Structure 1
Amino acid sequence: MLMCRDLAEIASDYIDGELSGRQNLSVKMHLMMCKDCRTFIGNLRASTELLQAHSAGHPDEELLRRIDERVSEALKTRRPRDKDDE
Protein backbone atom coordinates (compact mmCIF):
# COMPACT_ATOMS: atom_id res chain seq x y z
CA MET A 1 0.00 0.00 0.00
CA LEU A 2 1.15 3.52 -0.81
CA MET A 3 2.42 5.46 2.22
CA CYS A 4 2.18 9.22 2.71
CA ARG A 5 5.90 9.75 2.07
CA ASP A 6 5.61 7.72 -1.15
CA LEU A 7 2.73 9.89 -2.32
CA ALA A 8 4.73 13.04 -1.57
CA GLU A 9 7.49 11.80 -3.88
CA ILE A 10 5.13 11.28 -6.84
CA ALA A 11 2.56 14.00 -6.15
CA SER A 12 3.74 16.31 -8.92
CA ASP A 13 3.67 13.49 -11.44
CA TYR A 14 0.15 12.61 -10.26
CA ILE A 15 -1.07 16.18 -10.72
CA ASP A 16 0.60 16.35 -14.15
CA GLY A 17 -1.04 13.07 -15.22
CA GLU A 18 2.31 11.37 -15.73
CA LEU A 19 1.76 8.22 -13.62
CA SER A 20 1.06 4.75 -14.95
CA GLY A 21 -2.47 3.44 -14.57
CA ARG A 22 -1.45 1.30 -11.59
CA GLN A 23 0.35 4.17 -9.84
CA ASN A 24 -2.60 6.48 -10.47
CA LEU A 25 -4.98 3.94 -8.94
CA SER A 26 -2.70 3.55 -5.89
CA VAL A 27 -2.68 7.32 -5.36
CA LYS A 28 -6.46 7.55 -5.68
CA MET A 29 -6.97 4.71 -3.20
CA HIS A 30 -4.60 6.38 -0.73
CA LEU A 31 -6.34 9.73 -1.14
CA MET A 32 -9.70 8.09 -0.39
CA MET A 33 -8.35 7.04 3.01
CA CYS A 34 -5.99 9.87 3.95
CA LYS A 35 -7.35 13.32 4.72
CA ASP A 36 -3.87 14.80 5.18
CA CYS A 37 -2.75 13.72 1.72
CA ARG A 38 -5.98 15.01 0.15
CA THR A 39 -5.17 18.36 1.73
CA PHE A 40 -1.56 18.11 0.55
CA ILE A 41 -2.57 17.36 -3.06
CA GLY A 42 -5.11 20.19 -2.99
CA ASN A 43 -2.49 22.62 -1.70
CA LEU A 44 0.05 21.44 -4.25
CA ARG A 45 -2.46 21.91 -7.07
CA ALA A 46 -3.34 25.39 -5.82
CA SER A 47 0.34 26.32 -5.49
CA THR A 48 1.10 25.08 -9.00
CA GLU A 49 -1.84 27.01 -10.44
CA LEU A 50 -0.79 30.14 -8.56
CA LEU A 51 2.78 29.85 -9.84
CA GLN A 52 1.55 29.37 -13.39
CA ALA A 53 -0.85 32.31 -13.16
CA HIS A 54 1.83 34.68 -11.86
CA SER A 55 4.80 33.60 -13.90
CA ALA A 56 6.00 34.43 -17.36
CA GLY A 57 4.56 31.22 -18.76
CA HIS A 58 6.01 28.22 -17.00
CA PRO A 59 6.85 27.85 -13.33
CA ASP A 60 10.55 27.78 -12.55
CA GLU A 61 11.49 24.09 -12.51
CA GLU A 62 14.17 24.66 -9.87
CA LEU A 63 11.65 26.34 -7.56
CA LEU A 64 9.18 23.48 -8.02
CA ARG A 65 11.92 20.95 -7.29
CA ARG A 66 12.86 22.77 -4.07
CA ILE A 67 9.19 22.91 -3.01
CA ASP A 68 8.82 19.17 -3.67
CA GLU A 69 11.95 18.45 -1.62
CA ARG A 70 10.77 20.55 1.31
CA VAL A 71 7.34 18.95 1.32
CA SER A 72 8.88 15.47 1.15
CA GLU A 73 11.23 16.33 4.00
CA ALA A 74 8.35 17.70 6.10
CA LEU A 75 6.37 14.50 5.58
CA LYS A 76 9.37 12.38 6.60
CA THR A 77 9.72 14.25 9.90
CA ARG A 78 5.98 14.33 10.64
CA ARG A 79 5.16 12.56 13.87
CA PRO A 80 3.28 9.27 13.47
CA ARG A 81 -0.40 9.48 14.29
CA ASP A 82 -2.68 6.98 15.92
CA LYS A 83 -5.31 5.33 13.74
CA ASP A 84 -7.97 6.93 15.99
CA ASP A 85 -6.84 10.40 14.83
CA GLU A 86 -8.02 9.80 11.26
Structure 2
Amino acid sequence: MLMCKGLAEIASDYIDDELTGRQNLSVKMHLMMCRHCRTFIGNLRASTDLLKVHSSGRGNEELIRKIDERVAEALSARKSEGGVLE
Protein backbone atom coordinates (compact mmCIF):
# COMPACT_ATOMS: atom_id res chain seq x y z
CA MET A 1 0.00 0.00 0.00
CA LEU A 2 1.37 3.38 -1.00
CA MET A 3 1.78 5.80 1.90
CA CYS A 4 1.74 9.61 1.73
CA LYS A 5 5.53 9.90 1.84
CA GLY A 6 5.87 7.44 -1.03
CA LEU A 7 3.32 9.38 -3.06
CA ALA A 8 5.19 12.63 -2.43
CA GLU A 9 8.38 10.99 -3.71
CA ILE A 10 6.80 10.01 -7.05
CA ALA A 11 4.26 12.81 -7.45
CA SER A 12 6.13 14.59 -10.24
CA ASP A 13 6.47 11.38 -12.19
CA TYR A 14 2.73 10.78 -11.71
CA ILE A 15 1.85 14.24 -13.02
CA ASP A 16 4.24 13.79 -15.96
CA ASP A 17 2.67 10.36 -16.73
CA GLU A 18 6.01 8.59 -16.27
CA LEU A 19 4.96 5.84 -13.86
CA THR A 20 4.50 2.17 -14.62
CA GLY A 21 0.94 0.91 -14.82
CA ARG A 22 1.23 -0.65 -11.37
CA GLN A 23 2.63 2.54 -9.80
CA ASN A 24 -0.07 4.63 -11.48
CA LEU A 25 -2.78 2.35 -10.12
CA SER A 26 -1.25 2.52 -6.63
CA VAL A 27 -1.24 6.33 -6.74
CA LYS A 28 -4.86 6.46 -7.93
CA MET A 29 -5.97 4.10 -5.17
CA HIS A 30 -4.17 6.20 -2.55
CA LEU A 31 -5.70 9.41 -3.92
CA MET A 32 -9.18 7.88 -3.67
CA MET A 33 -8.64 7.44 0.08
CA CYS A 34 -6.50 10.45 1.04
CA ARG A 35 -7.87 13.96 0.67
CA HIS A 36 -4.58 15.48 1.83
CA CYS A 37 -2.70 13.89 -1.04
CA ARG A 38 -5.45 14.85 -3.50
CA THR A 39 -4.93 18.44 -2.41
CA PHE A 40 -1.16 18.00 -2.66
CA ILE A 41 -1.36 16.62 -6.22
CA GLY A 42 -3.76 19.39 -7.22
CA ASN A 43 -1.42 22.05 -5.84
CA LEU A 44 1.59 20.43 -7.50
CA ARG A 45 -0.22 20.34 -10.85
CA ALA A 46 -1.21 23.99 -10.49
CA SER A 47 2.36 24.96 -9.59
CA THR A 48 3.78 23.03 -12.52
CA ASP A 49 1.27 24.59 -14.92
CA LEU A 50 2.08 28.04 -13.57
CA LEU A 51 5.80 27.46 -14.09
CA LYS A 52 5.18 26.31 -17.65
CA VAL A 53 3.06 29.36 -18.46
CA HIS A 54 5.69 31.74 -17.15
CA SER A 55 8.69 30.08 -18.71
CA SER A 56 9.79 28.87 -22.09
CA GLY A 57 7.24 26.07 -21.92
CA ARG A 58 9.32 23.87 -19.64
CA GLY A 59 9.51 24.08 -15.91
CA ASN A 60 12.89 24.76 -14.35
CA GLU A 61 13.90 21.22 -13.42
CA GLU A 62 16.02 22.28 -10.44
CA LEU A 63 13.24 24.48 -9.05
CA ILE A 64 10.68 21.71 -9.47
CA ARG A 65 13.02 19.25 -7.71
CA LYS A 66 13.45 21.68 -4.80
CA ILE A 67 9.68 22.19 -4.57
CA ASP A 68 9.15 18.42 -4.55
CA GLU A 69 11.72 18.02 -1.77
CA ARG A 70 10.16 20.77 0.35
CA VAL A 71 6.69 19.28 -0.04
CA ALA A 72 7.98 15.82 0.90
CA GLU A 73 9.69 17.34 3.97
CA ALA A 74 6.49 19.14 4.96
CA LEU A 75 4.46 15.94 4.64
CA SER A 76 7.01 14.04 6.70
CA ALA A 77 7.07 16.74 9.38
CA ARG A 78 3.30 16.80 9.55
CA LYS A 79 3.17 13.05 9.96
CA SER A 80 5.78 13.10 12.74
CA GLU A 81 3.80 15.83 14.53
CA GLY A 82 0.81 13.54 14.65
CA GLY A 83 -0.96 15.01 11.64
CA VAL A 84 -3.43 12.84 9.80
CA LEU A 85 -1.60 11.31 6.87
CA GLU A 86 -2.34 7.91 5.42
TM-score (norm 2): 0.91
Q: How does 1:11-30 map to 2 (within 5 A)?
A: 11-30=11-30
Q: How does 1:31-42 map to 2 (within 5 A)?
A: 31-42=31-42
* Pairing partner for 2:82 from 77, 80, 83: 80
- SS of the residue 2:13 aligns to: helix
- SS of the residue 2:58 aligns to: coil
Deviations along 1:5-30, whole A, 9 cap, x unmatched?
00000000000000000000000000
- SS of the residue 1:58 aligns to: coil
**How large is the Cα RMSD of the aligned pairs?**
1.7
Cα deviation for residue 58 of structure 1 reads 1.2
Cα deviation for residue 82 of structure 1 reads 5.6
What is the aligned-residue identity percentage? 73
- SS of the residue 2:59 aligns to: coil
The whole-number CA distance in structure 1 between the counterparts of 2:43 and 2:64 is 13
Structure 1 moving runs of 4+ over 4 Å = none
TM-score (norm 1): 0.91
Which of 55-64 and 18-27 deviates more?
Answer: 55-64
Hey, what does 2:66 align to over in structure 1? Answer: 66
Distance 1:61 1:35, change over 3 A: same
Deviations along 1:26-83, whole A, 9 cap, x unmatched?
0000000000000000000000000000112211111011101100111111033469
- SS of the residue 1:2 aligns to: coil
- SS of the residue 2:29 aligns to: helix
Aligned residues: 84
- SS of the residue 1:57 aligns to: coil
